[in-house]
Structures are given as C-alpha cells and as structure tokens.
Amino acid sequence: MGIFSKVHRYREAGQEANVNNVDHFGVPAKSLFTSTKVFTLHHKIDITDQHENIVYHTWTKFLSLHDKTDVFDAQDRKIAHIEKKFFSLHERHYITMDDGLSFELSNELFHIIKDITNINGLGWQLQGNILGLNFEIYDQSGAIIAVISQKMLSIHDKYCVDIYKPEYEKIIVAILVTLQHMIRDRQNTAAASSSSSSSSN
C-alpha cells in the first residue's frame, strides 16, 4: 500500500520508493528501515538497508528517567547519544554525535494535524503528519533532507526513512531514533490518560 498511497508512505525493504515522495522530492539517494525489538528488557531498534542488513542498532538504558539511548553502527561504534529532558514543559531530547556535534529536538505544542519540531543547533525542522504517519526533515533553507514514514498497526513499530542528503545519514538516523521515542512516549501518555479517565468513571 505504501508504494502507491499518498497518505501512508511506509514501504518495506526492497520495494520502490513511495510515489508521493518521488513526485515531491525525486528518487531518494538511500533508504533505511527500522524494526523495534519487543518483549526485551531494553528498548532496542535495528536499522537495516534495502537488503535487510543491519547497519545501525540502538540500546536504551532500562528504567532510565532520562530515556538514555545510544546508537551504534554495524561495527558497534557509537555514533550518537540521546537523552530526554525530564520534568520539562516542552518535549525535548538532546542528541550528541560521535564527532561532538550536539543539537536538540524541541516540540512545544502537539498539533492535531501537523507537528513542527525545531532541531536547535542545526537550524533544521521536523514536520510531521500524525494522521498520515509521515514526517519530513528540512534544512535551514527549506530543502528536503529526509522523509520518515511509520507502518500502521505494526507490533514491531516499523519505520522507513528515504534519505535525500546522504552526507547527513548519521544525524538522520539519530533523529529517526529520537522521533520513535517521542511517538512512543506520546502513545504511553495517551494510554495512561485514557486508563485514568476510565477508572475515574
């Protein structure tokens, strides 16, 4: 469905790029795919290429208030460290890359149709369509960097990212992992709120 859908743009490894992405931005230079390992003590994400080879993987510290996550390449070299700011009025995550570059994802308001998350330190912006499960990363001049799409109703929490500026691949991967954590946190918060509302009734 993702190849031809203009709403949900997710696709599996080995399939052609989504028609909507190609129409708007051209054929991506590269695509990566993620799958979250469920039923583990640690939150783990495998990131694979189009041939389903693992090129990156993540490890999140169990029961960490700050949601500390490390991202590694296929040779187990750490490429990024991610931390969530706890007790903040804003939704913020801090990312430090292996070369010392640091930046922050800050989302102050959750919009019904579209989220706009500023990537402070890079001048980039993450624009998301929660209903369509699609997200786009733009640089400071408004040029497309990558398109992220989430698979609907998947127990393994799958994502696809079409990369248009491969020189930023590691940064894109770090943002992709952070986005997955942000969405998971939002879903957990919504579930907790719904459960609390139900029990009070």
pLDDT of residue 87: 56
Between CA 174 and CA 34 the distance in angstroms is 12
Q: What is the pTM of this model?
A: 0.82
Between CA 197 and CA 183 the distance in angstroms is 21
A 10 A CB-CB count for 197 gives 9
Domains and CATH numbers, the chain: 19-194 (2.40.160.200)
At 117 the three-state DSSP class reads strand
pLDDT of residue 33: 94
**Spatial contact of 148 and 160, defined as CB atoms under 8 Å apart:** yes
A 10 A CB-CB count for 30 gives 15
Between CA 144 and CA 8 the distance in angstroms is 18
Task: Please state the φ and ψ torsions of residue 89, each to the nearest 5 degrees.
Answer: -70, -20
At 40 the three-state DSSP class reads coil
A 10 A CB-CB count for 92 gives 18
pLDDT of residue 19: 87
Phi and psi based region of residue 145 (left: phi greater than 0; alpha: psi -120 to 50; beta: remaining): alpha
At 144 the three-state DSSP class reads strand
Could you list the pLDDT tens digit for every one of the 201 residues in the chain? 445 455 567 787 888 888 888 999 999 999 999 987 654 545 688 999 999 999 999 988 765 555 789 999 999 999 999 998 765 555 788 999 999 999 998 875 555 456 788 899 999 998 886 555 789 999 999 999 999 998 876 545 789 999 999 999 999 999 999 888 777 766 555 555 555 555 555
Task: Please state the φ and ψ torsions of residue 48, each to the nearest 5 degrees.
Answer: -120, 165
pLDDT of residue 188: 56
pLDDT of residue 193: 56
pLDDT of residue 7: 58
pLDDT of residue 187: 58
pLDDT digits (tens, 9 = 90+) for 117-161: 889 999 999 888 655 578 999 999 999 999 999 887 654 578 999
A 10 A CB-CB count for 46 gives 16
Between CA 171 and CA 85 the distance in angstroms is 19
pLDDT of residue 112: 46
pLDDT of residue 13: 83
List Cα–Cα distances, 110 to 20, 107, 122, in angstroms: 25, 7, 21
